[in-house]
Amino acid sequence: MRAYQITSFEMPPALAEAAVPEPSKGEIRVKIGACGLNFADLLMTEGKYQDTPQPPFTLGMEVAGTVDAIGPETDAPPVGSRVAVFGGQGGLAEYGCFPADRAVELPAQMSFVDAAAFQIAYGTSHVALDYKARLQPGETLLVLGAAGGVGLTAVEIGKLMGARVIACARGSEKLDVARAAGADHLIDAQTEDIREVCKSLGGVDVTYDPVGGEQFKAAFRASNPGARILPIGFASGEVPQIPANHLLVKNISVIGLYWGGYLKFRPEVVTQSMATLLNWYREGRLKPHVSHTLPLAQAADALELLRSRKSTGKVVVRID
C-alpha cells in the first residue's frame, strides 16, 4: 500500500510503499477513505508535538473509512461499517490499524470527507466550551484564529450554545468564512486592535485561543472579571507567559485543553461530547467547512496549505 511516512526528522516526509498492516487484539483495520490534517501534523514532521512517535511512522491523526478487518478477541463495529477514528498517526495511507474502542460509526448522510474533518476540530471546541469553560447563553466568546480548523468550529458551536461570538482572523476573506459560521462581530487581526475592539463591545467572558503570542495578551487584557481563557494551541509560535497576579486581581481562569489527552484518562468525556456533536450533525446544525480536498499523491501540498495559512476550516486528503 501507499503511505506518507516520516523516516527521520532530518528528512521531509515522503510517499512510500509499505506492507498492509494486520490488526492485533483490540484493533480494527480500516480501508481509509479520507484523512483530515491538523496543525499537529506539521509539528510532528519536526518532532515537536507532545505525542510524536519515533520514526518511522505514517502521518495523519484522524481518518474515516470502512472497517476491513478485526483483530482477535476484539469487540468492534462489524466489517463493512463506516467509521471515523482518531488514531494519532497512520492516517495518510490506504489502510491503517487503530484501537477499536476509538471507532465512531458514522451517520448515513455523513461523507468520509466530512467525517475526516470532524472529530478533532469539533471535539476540541465542544469539550473546551462546554465541559471546560461552561460557556453560558448570553456570554461573549472571543475566538482567535477563527477561520482555522478548530477556530471555525468554536465560532459555530459557540453560536449554537447561545453566546455572542467575536471572531478574530487575518483578512477579509477569512473573516467572511467566520461570519458565515455565525460570528456576530469580526476583528481583522492585521489592521485592528483586538483589545480595543473587544473592550468597545463590553469585554470578553470566554476566549478560545489556538494562536497564543500577542493575540493571547490582547485577549487577556480585554477579559471581564471572572473570564475564562482557553489555550488550545500556539500557532503563532509563541507560548505566552501568564501574569498570575493579574489572574488574582480579575478572578480570571486560564484553562488548558488537550483534547487527545482525555482519551487516556477520561475517555467518557470525549464519547459523550462526540455523541452530542453527531446528533447536531444529523439535525443539520453543524456543517464542516473543508476549504481544500487533495489526493494522497499531493499530501505534501496539503500540508503546505496549513503551513502557509492559505486554508480555511479543514484540509482533507482523499485516499483514492
pLDDT for res 276: 97
Say which CATH superfamily domain 2-118+288-318 falls into.
Medium-chain alcohol dehydrogenases, catalytic domain (3.90.180.10)
Which of 23, 1, 2 minimizes the C-alpha distance to 14?
A: 2
Residue 101 has pLDDT above 90, yes or no: yes
Please enumerate in sequence order all residues whose Cβ is within 8 A of that of 18, keeping only pairs 6 or more positions apart, or say none.
1, 2, 3, 5, 58, 93
Placement of cell 455565525 in the chain: 182
pLDDT, position 320: 79
**CB-based contacts of 126: which residues, under 8 Å, 6+ apart?**
153, 157, 273, 276, 277
Mean pLDDT, rounded, for 118-128: 97
The one-letter amino acid code at 217 reads: K
pLDDT at 51: 87
Q: What is the pLDDT of residues 142-165, one digit of tens each?
A: 999 999 999 999 999 999 999 999
In which band, very low, low, confident or very high, does the pLDDT at 16 lie, cut at 50, 70 and 90? very high
Helices 149-160, 119-126: inter-axial angle, 10-degree rounding? 50
Q: What pLDDT does 242 receive?
A: 92
| Every domain of the chain and the residues it spans | 2-118+288-318, 121-260
pLDDT tens digit sequence for 75-87: 999 999 999 999 9
35-55 tens-digit pLDDT = 999 999 999 999 988 889 999
CA 84 to chain centre: 14
The percentage of the chain sitting over the pLDDT mark of 70, rounded to a whole number, equals: 100
pLDDT higher than 90, residue 66: yes
**What percentage of the chain exceeds 90 in pLDDT?**
95
Find out whether 286 and 151 touch, Cβ atoms under 8 Å: no
The band of 120, judged by pLDDT with boundaries at 50, 70 and 90, is very high
**Is the four-CA dihedral 172, 177, 180, 182 of positive or negative sign?**
negative
Report the distance separating Cα 306 and Cα 2, nearest Å: 22
pLDDT score, position 50: 86
Residue 300's pLDDT is: 96
The answer, yes or no, to whether residue 169 has pLDDT greater than 90, is yes
Ranges 91-95, 118-122, 215-219, 260-264: which has the least confidence: 260-264
pTM of the model: 0.94
Instruction: Inform me whether the pLDDT recorded for 224 exceeds 90.
Output: yes
| Mean predicted confidence (pLDDT) in 238-257 | 93
Q: What is the mean pLDDT of residues 265-294?
A: 96
Q: Summarize the confidence of residues 200-209 as an average pLDDT.
A: 98
What would the mean pLDDT of 230-239 be, rounded to a whole number? Answer: 92
Q: Would the pLDDT of 103 be above 90?
A: yes
- Checking if the pLDDT of 318 tops 90, the result is yes
| Best CA proximity match to 296, nearest among 320, 280, 261 | 320
Neighbours of 34 (CB within 10 A): 26
pLDDT at 129: 98
**Burial category of 294 from C-beta neighbours within 10 Å (exposed 0-12, middle 13-18, buried 19 and up):** middle
Computed over every residue of the chain, the mean pLDDT equals 96
Give the mean pLDDT of 1-26: 95
Cell of 75: 469487540
Report how far residue 67's alpha carbon sits from residue 245's, in angstroms, rounded to the nearest whole number: 52
120-to-61, 277, 314 alpha-carbon distances in Å: 9, 11, 10
The arithmetic mean of pLDDT across residues 214-237, rounded, is 95
**Could you give the CA distance from residue 314 to residue 291 in angstroms, rounded to a whole number?**
6
pLDDT at 114 (0 to 100): 98
Return the CATH number of 121-260, one of 3.40.50.720, 3.30.200.20, 3.90.550.60, 3.90.180.10.
3.40.50.720
Question: 282-291 pLDDT, tens per residue?
Answer: 999 999 999 9
